[in-house]
Amino acid sequence: MANSIKLKVYNLLERSSAGNRLAQQIDAILIVFIVVNVGLAVLETEPSIGGVYVWEIFLLDFIAGSIFAIEYLLRLWVSDLHPPLKKYGPLKARVVYALQPLSVVDFVAVVPFWLSLFFASISWKSLVILRLFRFLKIARYSPAVRSLVSAVVAEQRAIVGSLVLILGVALVAATLLYSVEHAAQPEHFGTIPSALWWAFSTLTTVGYGDVVPVTAAGKMIASIVMLMGYCLFALPVGIVGTAFAREIHSRDFVVTWGMVATIPLFERLSAIEIAAVTELLHSHSVPAGQSICEKGEDGNSLFLIASGEVEEVFDDHRVLHGEGEHFGEASLFGHHKRRARAVAKTPVQLMVLKMDDLRRFMDRKPAVAKKIIDEAIDERKAHYVDVEFTS
């Protein structure tokens, strides 16, 4: 019984929430608590709010802290179920898990709760900085934030290299301005460290205007430094932007690959062959309430749900499909007419595989075609479906 509960908790908290409505609801609730909690930590610094609603804010923060603490303890409890951590044993697995970046963020998020709970001498409001760190928990529930972090980590050497270049240019610019301006403005350019303030504000194109060159040579150098600032700071931005786009593309590919791999028709294909099939997919957005396909239409497409919910309406029953699921596969088994009407229950993002594209692909790849046909024949035997794969 305990193992069964532990596995359910693991599936809810640690496995992908795609296709699991309860896990998605839990993630949404936790995100709301994070946003509300961080918002309250900011608003309470306003005397008109923090001084009037002291107990209300404290109560909400206590509830959020309690939930974050329970979440953290549950994650530690089930951490030894992670496949990479099973080899360590229950105790070491939890230690290794606790030292991972996201787990450290979770721990920091509950520190204010524990400190205010067990140490009455510590002022609750003095922990505002730690409470604001709870915003970092968003990374656990946001694939986009995780992709951005992964992009930065993957390109850390290039980013560090670009920052070293920027620091070098700032040092050279400060040295040049010191050389030509220290006699005219000893209070601002009397030393190279003093001139570095001007160099950084100029390179970043902030230009506060509190320190400016007055000599002709100084103004010429400043003009060059301004132009270099645009180019230099575009370098790390471009590196991160390119890496982020690559991470998003890779994540979407993995998700799509996983959906294709679950379709019985493609179970016999290798990873490379499934990847080739994913290239045949076309993205299609459908607003809520709109029909995707009608009963009696020619069945020439298979639909994979990237996001949203779709309801298939048959004569005697209805079937609700969620994220990560597929429908319309009967069209790939020789059915020429749709047996159900499909309607978007929510805004839906679909990946569509057309039968004509699959046939052309099979013509180019006879070995792959044989695997698909063999699987289709087995499906026909198992489900009494009349299968025809003729061009």
Dmax (CA) of the chain: 94
**Whether residue 137 is found in the same domain as residue 6:** yes
One domain for residues 119 and 201: no
DSSP helix/strand/coil, 127: helix
166 CB-near residues (< 8 Å, 6+ apart): 203, 232, 233
pTM over 0.85: no
Total number of domains constituting the chain: 3
**In a shared domain, residues 118 and 169:** no
Q: Are residues 133 and 9 in the same domain?
A: yes
Phi, psi for 318 (deg, rounded to 5) = -125, 150
Claim to verify: residue 216 and residue 298 sit in the same structural domain: no
User: Which one, of 361, 341, 256, 375, lies nearest residue 304 by Cα?
Assistant: 256
Q: Residue 193's domain spans which residues? A: 156-248
Task: Please indicate, yes or no, whether residues 7 and 125 belong to a single structural domain of this protein.
Answer: yes
Shared domain for 321 and 235, answered yes or no, is: no
In terms of domains, do 74 and 128 share one? Answer: yes
Tell me the per-residue pLDDT of 221-252, one tens digit each, with 9 for 90 and over: 999 999 988 888 888 888 888 888 877 776 66
Residue 388's pLDDT is 42
In b/e form, how buried is each residue of 105-124, taking b as 16+ CB within 10 angstroms?
bbbebbbbbebbeeeeeeeb
User: Are 244 and 267 in a shared domain?
Assistant: no
Which of 112, 141, 170 is the last residue in one of the domains?
A: 141
279 and 327 within one domain: yes
Question: What pLDDT digit, counting tens, does each position of 123-144 carry?
Answer: 655 666 777 777 878 777 777 7
Last residue of a domain, one of 199, 224, 248: 248
The domain that holds 193 is classified in CATH as: 1.10.287.70
Q: Are 151 and 240 in contact (CB under 8 A)?
A: yes
In a shared domain, residues 136 and 6: yes
151 domain residue, yes or no: no
Question: What pLDDT score was predicted for residue 385?
Answer: 39
How confident is the model over 250-292, as pLDDT tens digits? 666 666 766 676 666 676 777 778 778 888 888 888 888 899 9
DSSP 295: T
CATH number of the domain within which 18 lies? 1.20.120.350
For residues 87 and 121, membership in a common domain is answered with: yes
Bridge partners of 331, per DSSP, are none
